[in-house]
Amino acid sequence: MSRFPTDQEAKELICDIGRRIFEKGLVAANDGNITVKTGDNAIWATPTGVSKGYMTPEMLVKLDLQGNILKGTHKPSSEIKMHLRVFNMNPLVNACVHAHPPVATAYSVTGEWLDQPIFAEAIVMVGVVPVAEYATPGSLAVPESIAPYCLDYNCVLLAHHGALTWGTDLTQAYHRMEALEHYAKIHMETIGLQKPARMLTKAQVDELIAIRTTVNNGSLAGGIPDNRR
C-alpha cells in the first residue's frame, strides 16, 4: 500500500483543511498555504491569491520538489519555497501547513520560543516551538531561515509572519497547527509574553510596502507604519 494519497485524495484533503484553518481563524483573506506529497517527487499545493475557505480541487497546483509546475492553471504561492525546503530536507515529511495563528504569531513578534513545559499535550503534539529569523515573505531568505529546524522539530514560528507545521500526513500537520495555537493561548493566559514586541526596520517595512503595491495592482493606499513608537 502506497504511503502517499492519490492526486484526488490529496486535493480533497487540501480543500478540507483549507476550510478548517479559515473557519478557525488561523488565516484571514488569502493567507496561508498547504502542501501534500503524492509521490517521491510530486506535491499538490494551494494556489496564490485564493482564500483557503473557498478553494476547489480544480484550483490546486501540482509541482515537483524543485518547484516546477506539473499540472494546474493557477500559480502556486511564492511561499511554496519554504514547503519545498522541508520536503527536501526531511524525507519523513509528507505534508505542510502554513498559517497565521494569532496568539502563536504574537510570540513570533517578540522572538520567544514556546519551550516551557507547562502543558502535557503540547509536549506530545508539537514539542519545542522555535522562532526562525525574520525573512521577507515569499523571498528565498524564508527557506534559509527555517532550514535549521526542519529535521529536529515539528513546526516553527516565522518571525513577524506566522507558523509552519509539518507531518507524516496532512491530518498530522494540521493537528500540529491547531495544537500550536492552543499551546500559545494557554501560555499567554498563564505566563504571558515575556519580551516586548520587536518592530520591523524601515528597510523591512519598505520591502513589504512594495509587495503590498504589487498585490494591490499598483495602489499606494494603506499608509506606512511608524516603527519609531
Report the C-alpha gap between 72 and 82 in whole angstroms: 20
Predicted pLDDT at 2: 61
Q: Looking at the predicted structure, is the pLDDT value of residue 87 above 60? A: yes
Q: Looking at the predicted structure, is the pLDDT value of residue 165 above 60? A: yes
What is the pLDDT averaged over residues 72-84?
95
pLDDT above 90 covers what percent of the chain?
Answer: 85
User: Do 166 and 96 form a contact (C-beta atoms < 8 A)?
Assistant: yes
- C-alpha 89: how far from chain center: 17
Look up 79 and say whether it is catalytic: yes
Q: What are the residues whose beta carbons fall under 8 Å from the beta carbon of 185, sequence distance 6 or more?
A: 103
Strands (E), 51-93: 61-63, 69-71
Predicted pLDDT at 218: 76
Q: Looking at the predicted structure, is the pLDDT value of residue 204 above 80? A: yes
Catalytic residue among 9, 12, 79, 112: 79
Q: What is the pLDDT of residues 63-76, one digit of tens each?
A: 999 999 999 999 99
Q: Which domains does the chain have, with CATH numbers?
A: 7-190 (3.40.225.10), 199-229 (no CATH)
* pTM for this prediction: 0.93
Predicted pLDDT at 21: 98
- Residue type for position 110: T
Q: What is the pLDDT of residues 1-42, one digit of tens each?
A: 468 999 999 999 999 999 999 999 999 999 999 999 999 999
Grid coordinates given for 57:
480541487
Predicted pLDDT at 1: 46
CA distances for 224 relative to 29, 79, 137, 208, 213, angstroms? 20, 24, 18, 10, 12
